[in-house]
Amino acid sequence: MVIAVYPGSFDPITNGHLDLVERGARLCDRLIVAVLENESKQPLFTVAERMEMLREAVRDYANVEVGSFDGLLVDYARQKGATAIVRGIRAISDYEHELQMALMNRRLCPSVETVFLMSSEAYSFISSRIVKELIRLGGNLTGLVPPSVEVRLRNRVLKGV
Ligand code: PNS
C-alpha cells in the first residue's frame, strides 16, 4: 500500500493543483492532500475554507483525501504512514526551491521520497498568487480554478465576504 502526501498552501486550489492530484492519485493507493496550517504568509482563505474547497474539488477521486498539518511535513508523512511526498514543478524557476525542500526532507527522514510531477503545460503558468491577482484586477478565471472556487474568490476579494 503506497501512501503519498501532496502538501501545499492551496490558497486557493487551482486547476494546476487538481491536475497534479489526478496524476498523483494514479501513482499511489492513497493520496493525502495536506494544507499547511501555520503559514507566515497572510492567506486569503482560512485552513478550514481551503480544506472545504479541496474536498469539493477531489470528491470524484476515491483514493484522495484532504488533511492539514502543522510543523514538519516529514513528521506528518510519518504519522500518516506515507512513503512519498508529491510536489509539482511548473518551470525551471520552481526547481531550486523544491530541490532545497526535498533534500532537507530527505535529511530529516530518508525513508520518505519526494516525487516531482509536471503538470500539464496548459496549467504551467497558473499559481494561486496569480489567480488572486487576476480576480482583483477583473480578469477572467474560466478554466484556471474550479467554478466553486471562482465564486468564493469573487465573494472574498470583490465583496469581502
Ligand atoms: O504551496 P506551497 O506554499 O509551495 O507549499 C509549501 C509547503 C507547505 C510544502 C512547505 O512550506 C512545507 O512543507 N512546510 C512545512 C515545514 C517543513 O516541513 N519544513 C522543512 C522542509 S523545508
pLDDT in tens, 44-57: 999 999 999 999 99
Nearest-CA neighbor of 17 among 141, 134, 120, 102? 120
Query: Active-site residue among 23, 50, 87, 90?
Result: 90
| DSSP 8-state class, residue 145 | S
Report which protein residue has its CA nearest ligand 1's atom 12: 73
Residue 41 annotated as catalytic = yes
> CA torsion, points 12, 58, 116, 75, in degrees to nearest 10?
80
> CB-based contacts of 7: which residues, under 8 Å, 6+ apart?
34, 35, 36, 69, 73, 76, 85, 87
Are β-strands 30-36 and 3-8 bridged in parallel, bridged antiparallel, or unpaired? parallel
Q: Which pTM was predicted?
A: 0.97
| Spatial separation of the C-alpha atoms in residues 101 and 52, rounded to whole Å | 27
Q: pLDDT (tens digit, 9 = 90+) per residue, 102-121?
A: 999 999 999 999 999 999 99
Q: At residue 135, does pLDDT exceed 90?
A: yes
Q: pLDDT above 90 covers what percent of the chain?
A: 94
Structural domain boundaries in the chain? 3-158
- 3-158: CATH class: alpha beta
For the chain, the average pLDDT equals 96
Ligand 1 atom with the smallest distance to the CA of 87 is 9
Enter the C-alpha cell of residue 57: 474539488
